[in-house]
Amino acid sequence: MDLFQSATKADALPLSDHVLFKGDDIDEARAAVAEVYCDHRLETIGRQPFAAQHNRISGKALSINVMTYGAKTLIAPGALEGFYLFQFPVRGHASINNGTNRHEIGGGTSGVINPEASTSMIWSEDCVQVMLQIEKKALIETARAEVGLPAGTSLQFAGANKLRNGEGRAFLGLLNFIMKGSEGDDALLGSDTLLGKQLERTLMVGLLQTQSHNFSSIVASNTGPMPRIIRSAESYMHENLRAPIMIEDIACAAGTSVRNLQGAFRNRYGRSPMTVLRDLRLELAWEELSNPTQTTRVTDVATELGFFHLGRFAEIYRKKFGCTPVETLRAALPTEGFRPF
C-alpha cells in the first residue's frame, strides 16, 4: 500500500502478517492495546459497528503499528509517559488533544503525541492509522546525537505536519519499505542486526526532520548530521560517566586534539565538553535519586559520579533541577527510615 494513497475498505491493512488483535469486542480490544501501549478509555461514538484490528512489528526502541477501530471512536489514554507516538492516517482523519497541543490529522498530514501531557483523541469512522511508538529515552538520545538537543532540554512536538514534500515522502517511503519487507516472518525490525538498528535510527531522525517541535529551528539551521568528533566524544562520555576521565581522554577517544574538540563543542552547543559531561552526570544522578532503593544515599551517588564536594554538587544540582538532591531522594522514598546521607 502506498501510504500517500487512501486505502479503500476492501484493501488489506499493511502488516497483515503481523496481527496483534482483530475482533469486535471493545473490552478485548482495549486490553490488547493496553498491553503494548498503556491503559486507556475506549468508547464508540455513533452507530457504525466496532471492528478493531491492530497489526504490529516491534524493534528494540520502537514499533510500527497499523490500527483501525471501524467505528468513530474516543480514545483517552491520559499521559503516555514512556513513549512518543507518531500518527499518520492513511484513511479517515483524527482530532488530537495533547495538553495544549490540539490539531487535526489526515489527508496527508501527521502529528506526534508528547508523552508528558494528558491526551485524548477522536478517530473518524473507518480511520486507519500507521503509527510509530518510540521510547522517550531513545528519541531524546537520538535528538542529542543527531541534531544537538542540549542535555536537560525537553523535546516537545506541536501541530499537524504535511508529508508530501521531499523529506516527508522519503520518510513515508522508508516506512513503506520496512512494512513491505516484513511480509511473512522476515521482519526487518526486532532482529539484533546492524541493519535493524540503523533502520530504527533513521526512522527517529526522519521524525525529527519532518515533524514540528521546539527544536525545529536548530534542525533547519544544521547543514548536516552532527560532526563525527562530537558523536564520538559523547559516546565516550556516556560510556564513562562514572570514570575519572579528563578532556584529554575525550579528545583521544574522538580522534582529535583538545583544541579542536573544544571548538567543535563551542560551535555546536556554546559550551565546553566538560560542561556537557557534567550535565550528563547530573542527569544520571537525578535518575538514580528519583528511582532509589532503601540503601541509596546522596553521598554515594555524588561521589560515584565524580562530585566529591557535596556542597558544590547540591548547588549545581539545584540550579539545574530546581530542587536539592536530598529533596529529590526524599520525594521518592517513604518518610520512615529516610537516611539521605
**Chain centroid to CA 334:** 30
Domain ranges of the chain: 19-210, 229-332
SS3 string of 108-129?
CEEEEECCCCEEEEEECCCCEE
**Whole-number pLDDT of residue 55:** 95
Helix (H) or strand (E) holding 194: helix 194-210
Instruction: Please state which CATH number belongs to domain 229-332.
Output: 1.10.10.60
Percent of the chain with pLDDT over 90: 58
Please state whether 59 falls in left (phi above 0), alpha (psi between -120 and 50) or beta: beta
The x, y and z cell numbers of residue 135, run together, are 521510547
Handedness of CA 185, 186, 189, 192 (dihedral sign): positive
Choose between 319 and 12: higher pLDDT: 319
Count CA within 13 A, CB hemisphere, residue 239: 9
pLDDT in tens, 159-168: 899 997 788 9
**Whole-number pLDDT of residue 191:** 66
Can you identify the CATH homologous superfamily of domain 19-210? Answer: Jelly Rolls (2.60.120.10)
- Residue 88 and residue 3 in contact, taking contact as beta carbons nearer than 8 Å: yes
Q: What is the mean pLDDT of residues 275-288?
A: 91
Q: How far apart (Å, rounded) are the C-alpha atoms in residues 201 and 196?
A: 9
Residues in the chain: 341
pLDDT in tens, 115-127: 999 999 999 999 9
